[in-house]
């Protein structure tokens, strides 16, 4: 009786051990010893996370830039509301861009 029980127990333990081993070692593995499917999944998650982080960062940058631009626009508007004379700002000397630039580094003038 005891022998039968022991043999049944032993057989059960062996069978479960074999099935567990078969399940855990089934399928191809990469050089880290992980199953390919898990490895691929992990890589994919890392890639997605990186992508999302980059997207968030870019969106934030874009928003900040937009805010800054709007603020500057508002300030500009206020400034020009204060100064009704816009002509004042156009009265400064007009520059002729087609003229040759003056060389200030000449050692001597005309001789």
Residue-level pLDDT at 50: 95
Q: How far is CA 62 from CA 3, 46, 56, in A?
A: 77, 24, 10
Residue-level pLDDT at 25: 63
Q: In this structure, is residue 108 part of a structural domain?
A: no
Write the CB contacts of 39 (distance below 8 Å, at least 6 apart in sequence): 30, 32
- How many residues comprise the chain? 111
Q: In this structure, is residue 73 part of a structural domain?
A: yes
Number of domains present in the structure of the chain? 1
Q: In this structure, is residue 92 part of a structural domain?
A: no
Q: How far apart are CA 27 and CA 87, in angstroms?
A: 80
- Full residue range of the structural domain in which residue 44 is found: 10-82
Q: Is the entire prediction scored with pTM above 0.85?
A: no
Q: In this structure, is residue 94 part of a structural domain?
A: no
Residue-level pLDDT at 69: 93
Q: In this structure, is residue 35 part of a structural domain?
A: yes
Question: Residue 31's pLDDT band (boundaries 50, 70, 90)?
Answer: confident
Does 75 score more than 60 pLDDT? yes
Does 58 score more than 80 pLDDT? yes
Residue-level pLDDT at 87: 59
């Amino acid at each position: 009786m005891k022998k039968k029980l022991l043999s049944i127990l032993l057989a059960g333990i062996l069978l479960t051990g074999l099935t567990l081993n078969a399940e855990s070692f089934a399928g191809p593995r990469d050089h880290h010893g992980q199953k390919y499917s898990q490895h691929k999944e992990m890589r994919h998650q890392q890639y997605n996370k990186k992508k999302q982080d980059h997207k968030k960062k870019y969106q934030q940058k874009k928003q900040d830039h937009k805010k800054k631009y709007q603020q500057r626009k508002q300030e500009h508007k206020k400034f020009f509301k204060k100064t009704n004379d816009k002509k004042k700002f156009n009265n400064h000397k007009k520059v002729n861009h087609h003229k040759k630039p003056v060389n200030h580094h000449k050692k001597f003038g005309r001789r």
